[in-house]
Amino acid sequence: MEKIIILAMFAQVTLSLFVMIVMGKRRIQAAKNKQLNLNDFKTMQLDKAGDTVRVADRNFSNQFEIPVLFYAGCLLALQLHHASYLVAALACLFVVSRVAHTVIHLGQNNVRARFNVFLFGCGCVFAIWLAMIWRIIAF
């Protein structure tokens, strides 16, 4: 189970790096289209760049919010030797939810669908933490 959890964490890292590349490409394209100039990057005032740049920026920021709690929960499970089938499955489900969230966010950006996927991922992270607390208290 440890390997599955580590692979899930790696997949989340890979997703974060992928979003960073998308964000960078969108910023470069906005600069090429003269929507932005280099001075805009000094203060990161990218409002003139349009929605595609702002959405990619926001999605990249999202990769360092709830996923931080995911990483912490996974590392705790590994450290305490509580890497169970449940935690591994929840870790994989969380990453799938983050991929779905990113596809929705960077694509059509359906807010209701994105929110539902976000809540599902949050539930997975909370369940990982509940599993850790249960194991600590019960054993």
Predicted confidence (pLDDT) per residue in 73-104, tens digit: 999 999 999 999 999 999 999 999 999 999 99
pLDDT in tens, 112-126: 999 999 999 999 999
Contact status, residue 77 vs residue 5, Cβ threshold 8 Å: yes
**d(C-alpha 5, C-alpha 12), whole Å:** 11
Higher pLDDT, 46 or 134: 134
Specify the pLDDT at position 41. 65
Give one DSSP letter per residue of 48-114, joined into a string: GG-HHHHHHHHHHHHTTSHHHHHHHHHHHHHHTT---HHHHHHHHHHHHHHHHHHHHHHTT--HHHH
User: Range with the lowest mean pLDDT among 22-31, 61-70, 80-89?
Assistant: 22-31
pTM of the predicted protein model: 0.91
Three-point CA angle 107, 6, 75, nearest 5°: 105
User: Cα-flanking dihedrals φ and ψ of residue 129, to 5°?
Assistant: -65, -40
Pick from 15, 6, 125: nearest CA to 75: 6
